[in-house]
Chains A and B, each alone.
Chain A
């Protein structure tokens, strides 16, 4: 058996498979299927300072080999998370990443300050949510805004800081560099691609919010390309995600440059995907006489 452990910004993960924010809530529901320790880590649902009601339904649409969502960051607020979820999560023997969103720079800073005083392991700054009117992606689409918010949050953040990048930009590598130069400890990508579907019988958008974020297998090649470009541009760890559904996808994403991966949409299709991906990774490494999964990272031959 090869070693599946990875270290990201000084935090040890038992395996490189992390559940992606927004797809696994705070872990409770999926812990009915298996102990969360089968996951290297869990990125919790995007959390804001105050409770958010989220967008009106419908929030979901299926797309060819993927889906759109416009949940709109429905969450019970950071204090509720700390009081009701964190203690339980800490007992699950997996790395806990708090995914943080806000409407203003002050929100993000305040969140980082509050969460730095808790037992979470890392903070993932969600400056790439396409489904809320203010905040979210507006901070994530130019090098200046990414640099500014990273720098500001860095002052308040005592935990390893991951910046989660939006794919809805012209040059994602430049954005990653801006985050790195202002103190990000790692970057994660990609968040969802903005998309839209229309019901041709009613002529109405399927999603009430009109547009939604696209995820699932259809975005995988885009994600692989972006991870490859970002890995070539920065020296901090890169967490790759977007459409990973099989262990083969996981290997490919790591070869492109990911130090760890996140999986989201596949959980809806097969809740047991994390276990299958870990088994497949192990097999692959054994078959190729590799002793550590870290050997895969950026091993693409070009």
Chain B
């Protein structure tokens, strides 16, 4: 079985910032088959469509997700309680192909930070993590990253924590020795990273978002434009072909 719709038990719920929540969902079977960079589709009571949320980490029989309240669906999710059943379809999509032997830079922007945790963990001491946030109040998961990786660099837009500026600033220094870049975050950030990676000839993989219905590749709702080798663009689907794409193939 590649994926299934199953109930999980919400075994722990933490509020990380005024709008960001950290859920641990217990389901042994689904946790066992989940890989870095994949996502889950969360059933939200009263909503027609499920909400796609990335896997932040897997700990034994636990799938951990970290999400920000953006609208009604994520607000309802934030009101779920410990011991509640949460139905998810998981694991979905193709994640990052991590090579432990290669120096890999993991870059997360804002709510794009959580999916980098499980991925960076795989690369361990060869991982350099750059996490960018608006300000110090938005900074999340630093202790978790420090547990797994040797280097964590924080940037904030207003300089209230770590480096003052965008993630691309420390990337300038690190990119010369990088063998691979993995990134998730706002589109303009990904676009800039992709450009730098191309200039330096470093393979770059980005995790993209799109509005979804089925989450498994059946409805063709979550299209993203990619370039064929002959430079023709065509549509692939974030839920099945992604969410991770080779930055060179994305039609920015």
Contact surface of A with B, Cβ cutoff 8 Å: 22-25, 28-30, 32-33, 45, 53-63, 65-67, 69, 71, 74, 206, 216-217, 265, 267-272
Contacts and interface: CB of A to CB of B under 8 A. Distances in A.
B130 to A, nearest CB: 28
B216 A29 contact: yes
B48 A216 contact: yes
A270 B220 CA distance: 17
B213 A69 contact: yes
12 contacts: A32-B3, A32-B4, A32-B216, A54-B223, A57-B210, A57-B222, A71-B221, A71-B223, A265-B48, A268-B214, A269-B50, A271-B89
Contact of B211 (A25, A28, A58, A272): A58
For A25, A56, A216, A271, the residue with the greatest tally of chain B CB atoms inside 10 Å of its CB is A271
Given A60-B49, A268-B219, A269-B50, 12 more contacts: A28-B218, A53-B234, A56-B225, A57-B225, A58-B210, A59-B222, A61-B211, A62-B48, A62-B49, A69-B219, A71-B223, A267-B218
Interface string B70-92: 00010000000000000001000
Contact of A60 (B89, B218, B222, B235): B222
Given A67-B48, A268-B213, A32 B219 contact: no
Interface string B25-63: 000000000000000000100011110000000000000
B5 interface: yes
Contacts of B212: 60
B70 to A, nearest CB: 11
B217 interface: yes
Given A25-B218, A269-B50, A270-B43, A54 B235 contact: yes
B214 A57 contact: no
Nearest to A266: B48
Nearest to A63: B48
Given A22-B219, A62-B48, A267 B234 contact: no
